[in-house]
Every structure is written in C-alpha cells, then in structure tokens.
Amino acid sequence: MAEELVLYSIAEVNMKIRKGDTLGPVGFSLNWNGFDWTGTVLSCEIKKIQTGNPLITVDLNTGLVITTTTTTNDTITFTFEVDKAQTKTLAAGIYFYDIQFTMPDSRDRTLYEGKITVIQDTTESI
C-alpha cells in the first residue's frame, strides 16, 4: 500500500512580472517519501480574485519530473512557464494562483499559493 502524503502547511510564493513577458520557468520541489503519484493530476490557475473564474490555466503535468533518490528522500519537481501571449492579456494588477494536485480518489491538496503582481510594460516588443 502506498504511503499517504501528509502536508503540514501550504507554501506561499509571490511573484512579479512585467505584462507581456514570459513568467518562468518557475520550479517547485516537494519531498514525497514513497507516495504513489500514479493517476495524480497537477494543476495551476491564475485568477483576478480568489473565487473567480481562471484567467489562465497552466498544464503542470508536461513539466512534471519524479526523481527517486532513496525511499526516505524522494523528490517530485515540476516547472512551468506562462508565455508572453498569455501574460499580455492580463491588466496590470495583483492576481492570485495556487498549485494543486488531485489524487485518483478525487481528493485535492494545495501545495503552493501566492500572488502574481503584473506591472504595466513600458516598451512593447514588435
């Protein structure tokens, strides 16, 4: 039987970008100590208000790398980018995001959350 993943706290990571720039690559790591990630889906949404509809949804599963080092020190790492075409659609301001995973039995866990501050770009690229 696979071990249960126990999260004691949600990490808060705040970011700042200029409108129209690529966000990232942003990387995160988590020690998972033998947890079976089979069938687990990672997701990230960026919203203007925390309870609103997502403005950008990021597919984290393509940047997912699971590294087995030892049975007591396994690590899951993932990276993602939000391309400039997507950030160009965001007005200057503060946005909220979180990174969650959904387990095969439909339970959700939040790993990271925070704010993304988008600053108006002075010079737009051609």
Higher pLDDT, 60 or 109: 109
Query: How confident is the model at residue 116, as a pLDDT?
Result: 92
CA end-to-end span of the chain: 55
Tell whether 125 is covered by a domain: no
Tell whether 2 is covered by a domain: no
Domain count within the chain: 1
Interval 94-103 mean pLDDT: 87
Higher pLDDT, 90 or 64: 90
Higher pLDDT, 2 or 120: 120
Cα 58 from Cα 83, distance rounded (Å)? 10
Interval 95-116 mean pLDDT: 87
Q: How far is CA 56 from CA 8, 27, 90, 97, 98, in A?
A: 28, 18, 9, 9, 11
Tell whether 124 is covered by a domain: no
Strand arrangement, sheet containing 64-67: 23-31, 75-82, 64-67
Tell whether 60 is covered by a domain: yes
Tell whether 101 is covered by a domain: yes
Task: Quote the domain boundaries for residue 21.
Answer: 11-119
Stretch (H or E) spanning 86: helix 84-87
pTM of the model: 0.75
Q: Dihedrals φ, ψ of 35, to 5°?
A: -65, 135
Stretch (H or E) spanning 87: helix 84-87
CATH number at residue 69: 2.60.40
3-class secondary-structure state, position 99: strand
Tell whether 73 is covered by a domain: yes
Tell whether 70 is covered by a domain: yes
Could you tell me which residues come within 8 angstroms of residue 34 by beta carbon, excluding any fewer than 6 positions away?
2, 3, 71, 72, 74
Query: How confident is the model at residue 93, as a pLDDT?
Result: 94
Tell whether 79 is covered by a domain: yes
